[in-house]
Amino acid sequence: MMRRNNFLILGLSCALLTSGAALGFPFKKSEPAKSVSNEKFWKEYTAQENKPNSQPGNFLLMFQEQLGGLAQKILPSVVNIYSTVKTQQKTQSQNDLFRYFFEDFFKQQRQQQAQPKQQEVQSLGSGFIISEEGYIVTNAHVLIEGADSIKVKLGQKDKFGKDLEFEATIVGKDKASDVGLIKISPPKSITLQPIPLGNSDSSYVGHLVLAVGNPFGFSQTVTHGIISSVGRDIATLSPYLSYTQTDAAIHQGNSGGPLCNIHGEVIGINTAIRTPNIGFAIPINKVKKYLPALKKEGRVRRGWIGIALGPRILDGKIELQKGQFKESPYNTSHGVLVRDVIVGEPADKILFPDDVILKVNKTLIHSQQELLIAIGEIPVGKRAQIQIWRNNKIKNVLIRVSERVDSQQARINTAPSQKGGTEEKIIHSKLGIRVSPLSPQSRKQHNIPGEIKGIVVDFAERNSSLRAGDVISKANRRHISSKEGLAWILRRATKSVLLVVYRKEQSQYRRQYVWIDF
């Protein structure tokens, strides 16, 4: 019976298929696949057609070819630098409230989390090869202090197209200028391609430049632009350098990479950015002065004569605040005032407070930074010929330069300037103070050292720039030993007065300049 039903179903199925065909039901037949045409439906220039701007001698074409060729010439000399240091870090759970109610349950977990875990901190930067022996220039800040490893990835590859990476050793670094020198020792089968160092003094605003580096880890990145400015003084970066500004895009990771001219020469080390299109490079001529010392001693030694710097004089006016000039009582067109001389240092008993330094060797001095650079570049142990203005006379002195050892002394130490600070009425009306001669009692009361001379401020109005305990030593370059002397000067000063004041700061009296407008 079952077999008969199966035959019946099969017969009905065949009948339906046959009748469906007879009734014209639409059954689709398989069609052959269409072949994909390789016909181009976009525009292209053929070999016979002249492309725009492709004629021989076309400026744009020549510029493109030159720029591309220049980049290819530079790239093999630029490297990526990775400094790595391992640190210990404790981790804690964020569910403090939850753990409070389940203290026992989480006790073991908390003990495990309190165990320190090792973490790697990595610094990313760039550099460039300067010799076939494997010396590489970069920024000092790229080289992490106490790094466990410093790796260098070359801009060239091996014969199989793989990256070439080597361990590097620090040869030397100078934090004050942010210049570092490292070295790699690849096998003899690897030929390094050093890049030539140019002359940054011949670079001018408007010159074309290329910046090459490793921004955000994107190795072998090339950007181009122009030199936007030269001789930028940025004391927050270094008081010893004037920087080259460029609009070539520089980002994090470009530090230590080269800024190159159109000849493929390095004219600067990319160092800092304000915005992506306002970047600053260390002029290569400065770097070339540091490299021999970095290679030989691992550091740069700078000159020091032991003075604290006061305001600068420019065009016959004195700058007591940044960019704010007043008529100068010093009869000289330029220079930097000596605010103080440190006892026992080279300038002691040779220079004196209120001297104006006009020239160091052959370098005219117009700013504190110029003075620091001029002294700093004199070899330690050599004598510096310093021209000064003192008591309305120009004088030349010789000072043997010693080595600067305290990094804090590298900062530009300008005297603070304020507004504010002698028969009582004149002194009070013009300066807002009451004064008295220095006596043993006042010295004891204010702990004023015996070598400080002048008159002491007993009382100062709230809006006065002078304070009780201040000692007025000079007014308009004249020594003050009495209130009558100060009043005599104030009667003749119609608009303002420049005071030399000793003020107690952090338990020590320090010499300051105070300009007071009437």
The candidate with the shortest Cα–Cα distance to 222, out of 350, 42, 74, is: 74
251 part of the active site: no
Question: Among 123, 255, 417, 473, which one carries the catalytic annotation?
Answer: 255
Instruction: Assign 3-class secondary structure to 397-429.
Output: EEEECEECCCHHHHCCCCCCCCCCCCCHHHHHH
Task: Please report, for residues 81, 210, 307, 319, the alpha-carbon distance to residue 414 in angstroms, rounded to integers and kept in the order given.
Answer: 38, 37, 11, 10
Supply the angle between the helices 424-431 and 483-492 in degrees, to the nearest 10: 60
Query: Angle 17-22-25 (CA atoms, 0-180°, nearest 5)?
Result: 70
The candidate with the shortest Cα–Cα distance to 201, out of 227, 220, 175, is: 227
d(CA 255, CA 268): 11
Question: Among 174, 178, 247, 340, which one carries the catalytic annotation?
Answer: 178
H or E segment and range at residue 135: strand 135-138
Question: Among 123, 141, 417, 470, which one carries the catalytic annotation?
Answer: 141
Task: Please report, for residues 40, 98, 513, the alpha-carbon distance to residue 51 in angstroms, rounded to integers and kept in the order given.
Answer: 19, 72, 71
201 part of the active site: no
- DSSP state at residue 291: H
d(CA 303, CA 243): 21
158 part of the active site: no
First to last CA, the chain: 130
Catalytic residue numbers, as ranges: 141, 178, 255
